[in-house]
Amino acid sequence: MGAAGWVIPAIVTGLGVAVLVSALSHFVAGRMGHGARHSVFGLILAGVGGAGLLLGLNTVRYARLTHEGPVAEISVKALDPADNKYTVTVKRLDSDIPVQSCAIQGDEWLIAGEVQKWKPWANMLGLDATYSLDQIVNKYFTAARGNGKLITACDLTEPPPAANKYVPSQWIKWLEDNSFTRDRRFGDANFMPLADGAVYHLLITQSGFNSEPANDVAKAATEKRI
């Protein structure tokens, strides 16, 4: 989110609080009319500004996307190749999120997430297209091969802002749905073969996620799959 997306709501909220303080001083001085008007105006400013900040806090969980950029480095290590068990490590390249490891059983890893595109006027405020990772799961080369097999998966979502604990979830959803900033939201997923020692890079483009081999092991596994 651009600086304007934070500064403007913060200024509006600050003005609202200042007007409310002014209203209190009017009430203390016995100027009830002035106090009432300032109270109403202050509450409106503080409410609008607070809603903007809350929306911003929930938007910042999504990394900004301009054209194309690195998302994560995905490394594979064999646990039990005979039983198709691997440890997949996800190292984020777009933030300081801690490295996550996941035990997966299958032929391929599949990573999924969500991409959001915003209205043009929101882009002008610095709100470019954004994305967030959801989970990494197992996948088999064919549906027949995967039928009856266990689903192994790990959660990659980031925790919501601390402020959400104090705000009803219905309010947040209403703000997101009625802020008229979002153009569209869509889910996307990408997958690559599991192979001991393979390293892949996950990228984000305007069309969604894309992954590519980052070492010879990954390249060989990908070519074999094709």
Same domain, 80 and 137: yes
Beta strands 63-65 and 68-80 are unpaired
Domain count, the chain: 2
Q: Which of 39-53, 140-154, 187-201 has the lowest mean pLDDT?
A: 39-53
Q: What percent of the chain has pLDDT over 70?
A: 73
Q: What is the pLDDT of residue 89?
A: 97
Residue 174 lies in a domain: no
The reply to whether 133 falls in a domain is: yes
Residue 187: Cβ within 10 Å count: 10
- Which of 42, 59, 76 is the endpoint of a domain? 59
Report which of residues 224 and 175 the model is more confident about. 224
Segment 187-210, tens digit of pLDDT: 899 999 999 999 999 998 767 889
Alpha-carbon dihedral angle through residues 168, 169, 172, 176, given to the nearest 10 degrees: -160
Say if residue 219 is in the same domain as residue 195: yes
pLDDT of 133 strictly over 80: yes
Q: Is 190 found in the same domain as 105?
A: yes
Residue 220: pLDDT band with limits 50, 70, 90: very high
Query: Which residue type does 128 have?
Result: D
Q: Does residue 88 share a domain with residue 12?
A: no
For 187-191, the CB contacts below 8 A with 24+ separation are 187/112, 187/113, 187/114, 187/115, 187/134, 188/112, 188/113, 188/114, 188/115, 189/110, 189/111, 189/112, 189/113, 190/110, 190/111, 191/108, 191/109, 191/110, 191/111, 191/139
Residue 53: give the domain boundaries: 3-59
- Specify whether 50 is located in the same domain as 90: no
Q: Which of 19-23, 78-82, 150-154, 182-186 has the lowest mean pLDDT?
A: 182-186
91 or 178, which is more confident?
Answer: 91
Q: Indicate if the pLDDT at residue 66 is higher than 60.
A: no
Lowest mean pLDDT among 4-18, 94-108, 166-180, 187-201: 166-180
